[in-house]
Amino acid sequence: MRAPQNAGTLAPAKRHPAMALAILGMLFLVIVWWSLTLGRYDVPLATWWKLVLAPDETGIPGQILLQVRLPRIAAGILIGAGLSAAGAAYQGIFRNPMVSPDILGASAGAGFGAAGAILFDFSVAGVQAASFAFGLLAVLLTCAAAARLKRAGDPILTLVLVGILVGAVFTALVSLVKYAADPYSKLPAITLWLMGSLAAINPKDLAFAVLPMSIGLVPLYFLRWNLNVMAFGEEEARALGADTGKLRWIIIFCATLLTAASVAIAGMVGWVGLVIPHLARMIVGPDYRTLLPASVLLGAGYLLLTDDLARSVMANEIPLGIITALVGAPFFLTLMMRSQRGWV
């Protein structure tokens, strides 16, 4: 009998999942508070108190908090939580720790849908719908092509490669949209938006995003035990009594909806859906009962921190997608090296 090895990984807190979640929750609240106070316009503590008691009398500081900083922070939380939950769900359903919204082509598809919708002056809801439709189309194309290539060898690698191919097609289509766009008005808008940013969030956009985010997040939360079972593969999950046909579609639908809603309000924010589930798995272990809530808390906190960087490092805002890639990719490489088991 061999003792479990922990070499090179953070010690898994599997025995105390509630404790791990509580610590992550507190960390998240600290980040939220810090993000609220951070900004070029200093808001004294007294104003916060007034904001709670009498929101109308707070003047400009209150306006900044209510109209600018709060919506931006709420959007950051939603997007971080949504992308991380989507990544964790995709990894479980495809039994593949290397997939994420970016790698399956979902982000690129959603990006194309949203860019096209911006080109044709769609409403906020229209951008959301187009983003979801093309995000789902991209994931379905990836699944279908990978299923046909089942005999090509390593299924993990096949899915990743097919996803990259589908992503490339949609990225090319995005370029086509940019090429067709008016270079003085539409092109800068689409380009900036594709780089990912929370700078332009207003309360109305936020309201439109809350609904699809909830429709995606709530079922995933309640299906998290089944995500464990699905990680054992279609046949075994069915033999264990899971209704895999139904589960598969619900989970893919929810994860894609989360991705598309994020892309529609904040553009292409890459790497979050791959890095955060891995980090969460290192901290709390692979059991989705704790992994999913842990991914949500970590993802929300991570995105807030990245956005804090985006709005405070330089005089001009740095697009969010640039920071998540600059931080996320090397961070992921470090995680893989530390894990010593190849995939985390």
Partner 1 sequence: MKLEIAHARCGYPGHPVVTDISFSVASGEAVYLLGPNGSGKTTLFKTVLGLLPRQGGSVLIDGKDTASWPRQRVARKLAYVPQAHTPPFPFTVRDVVLMARTAHLGMFGMPSRRDAAIAEEAIDALGLSALAGARYTEISGGERQLVLIARAVAQETEFLVLDEPTSNLDFGNQVKLLRIIRALVQRGFGLLVTTHLPDHAFLCASRVALLHRGTLMAQGKPEEVLSEARLQETYGIQLKIAEVEPGLRVCVPVLN
Q: Which residues bind partner 1 (CB under 8 A)?
A: 1-5, 14-15, 92, 95-97, 156, 222-223, 225-226, 228-229, 231-233, 235-244, 246-247, 281, 285-287, 289, 341, 343
The residue (of 237 and 265) whose beta carbon lies closer to partner 1 is 237
Tokens matching residue 149 = 């290539």
Tokens matching residue 239 = 């033999």
Tokens matching residue 46 = 């007294």
Q: Minimum distance from CB of 18 to partner 1 (Å)?
A: 14
The residue (of 121 and 235) whose beta carbon lies closer to partner 1 is 235
The residue (of 61 and 97) whose beta carbon lies closer to partner 1 is 97
Q: Minimum distance from CB of 304 to partner 1 (Å)?
A: 27
The residue (of 182 and 243) whose beta carbon lies closer to partner 1 is 243
If you search the block for the tokens 């299906």, which residue do you land on?
223
CB of 311 closer than 8 Å to CB of 317: yes
76 Cβ partners below 8 Å, 6+ apart? 35, 198, 300, 303, 304, 307
Q: Minimum distance from CB of 285 to partner 1 (Å)?
A: 7
Q: Minimum distance from CB of 262 to partner 1 (Å)?
A: 24
| Cβ neighbours, 10 Å, residue 338 | 14
> What is residue 293's three-state secondary structure?
helix
The residue (of 72 and 281) whose beta carbon lies closer to partner 1 is 281
The residue (of 12 and 113) whose beta carbon lies closer to partner 1 is 12
CB of 167 closer than 8 Å to CB of 159: no
Q: Minimum distance from CB of 261 to partner 1 (Å)?
A: 22
The residue (of 50 and 238) whose beta carbon lies closer to partner 1 is 238
Q: Minimum distance from CB of 4 to partner 1 (Å)?
A: 4
Tokens matching residue 187 = 């092109």
Q: Minimum distance from CB of 123 to partner 1 (Å)?
A: 34
Tokens matching residue 7 = 């070499």
Residues comprising the chain, all counted: 344
Nearest to 159 by CA among 98, 230, 84, 71: 98
CA atoms within 13 A on the CB side of 299: 32
248 Cβ partners below 8 Å, 6+ apart? 93, 230, 234
